[in-house]
Structure 1
């Protein structure tokens, strides 16, 4: 679920702030999920960047809060740089702080994206748009075991730029159904071939709202990652 904060910056610009965190995932013996710190940094950055882009923001800076140890910093930074390179944003500054006074038994990383956007009037959902889930909700070790089911960042970026796309929303730990209802302020039951209640971990999938007449374009762009989402009262 989106945690974006938008603040006034100037007469025509707004500040866009998004964040993500990771706990007990990494290289320490007591971590619940074992993986490299670079992977942790990559996925934390991915989530926050997706939320910034979904809000119409341009990434301006990355701030990391490293609770693991001094040695983890460069690995986290490397993971962040992979995401920025993927989006051709290698000029973006990366800063932050490390907890070096006390040692922790488990890994921890917090990450904040600071972005800006031109002020635009947002449109409400009118009930005429189509909805879909792009990617599959995955959590923990599933993210590493099923990489082909994770919605790629390049696809998210491409869909952000399509005129037929009305809005996108990365899905978080509360699952697709909760994210959709909060997003649309509707209470419909939903029909889809994927699990709508399951956590999507580090935004392994995202919601998309689009002009119904352009559904074929969305399906072609997303391929096998496209999962139609139907509010029950609209189902045939």
Structure 2
């Protein structure tokens, strides 16, 4: 049986193990003539893979395999995209099989990429539907998109900054933020849970801005978070 939770599918296998599936696409970002945002294919691969890895890890699964659909030629665009993906996996100390497809028939003028990550866990290890009334809400990282991601100076959320937070005792759940922005993710959560939010005053973070390739993560906790984080960590309110 499968069910949808935010941007992942959660499938119960016949063995009773849990399969978690996340995918992401990226188009018109690269160094080809028709690309809208100019960025090295290395960056395109790295951040597209990061989105899927974050989604799987956030719900408590361990990445087990990846598919990479490169809608461009292998040399040089595809090779550079794959280098970015491998760099992200190495940063997470992950060694997983990758199934790859590239465009071999047509010449392309725009960069396009699709990545899927498959993860597994036991049912009891799933970290979803855990938020509760009274939880404090934090944002790890700063929402950025497009060229801002390329030029980032250590403000965006990374998997290496996310992993320690998952071990903090009072953290109930984490939700990666993408193109819908912090406000969009919170609205989906409220619709799902029936809870409300009491936002802090004078927030310095833009709740409506797209966080692009998961450059920010919502963190919910029982009480204040006192641990140190490698990127900015901003309290924005409380669930009620």
> If the length of structure 1 is used for normalisation, what is the TM-score?
0.89
TM-superposed CA distance for 1:33, in Å, is 1.2
Deviations 1:137-184 (CA, angstroms, capped at 9, x unpaired): 001001122232112321111112222211111101011011012124
Note closer, same or farther for the CA distance 1:223–1:59 as it changes in structure 2 (3 Å cut).
closer
1:124-139 residue pairs with structure 2 within 5 A?
A: 124-139=130-145
1:16-165 residue pairs with structure 2 within 5 A?
A: 16-71=20-75, 72-89=77-94, 91-120=95-124, 122-165=128-171
1:23, 1:203 → 2: CA distance? 16
Note closer, same or farther for the CA distance 1:64–1:224 as it changes in structure 2 (3 Å cut).
closer
2:16, 2:169 → 1: CA distance? 22
Aligned partner of 1:228 among 196, 215, 235? 235
> Is 1:198 the equivalent of 2:172?
no
**Alignment match, 1:168:** 174
Note closer, same or farther for the CA distance 1:151–1:168 as it changes in structure 2 (3 Å cut).
same
Is the Cα–Cα contact under 8 Å of residues 161 and 230 in structure 2 kept in the other structure?
Answer: no
Gaps of 5+ in 1: none
2:186, 2:19 → 1: CA distance? 25
2:89, 2:230 → 1: CA distance? 24
Aligned residue pairs total 228
2:92, 2:235 → 1: CA distance? 27
Note closer, same or farther for the CA distance 1:223–1:157 as it changes in structure 2 (3 Å cut).
closer
Aligned partner of 2:187 among 173, 181, 185? 181
2:164, 2:156 → 1: CA distance? 15
1:223, 1:19 → 2: CA distance? 26
2:196, 2:172 → 1: CA distance? 20
> If the length of structure 2 is used for normalisation, what is the TM-score?
0.88
Point out the structure with the larger helix share: 1
**Alignment match, 2:221:** 210
**Alignment match, 1:3:** 7
TM-superposed CA distance for 1:224, in Å, is 5.8
2:61, 2:39 → 1: CA distance? 30
Gaps of 5+ in 2: none
Deviations 1:82-131 (CA, angstroms, capped at 9, x unpaired): 11111111x21111211222222210001000111110275543212111
2:234, 2:190 → 1: CA distance? 18
SS at match of 2:229: helix
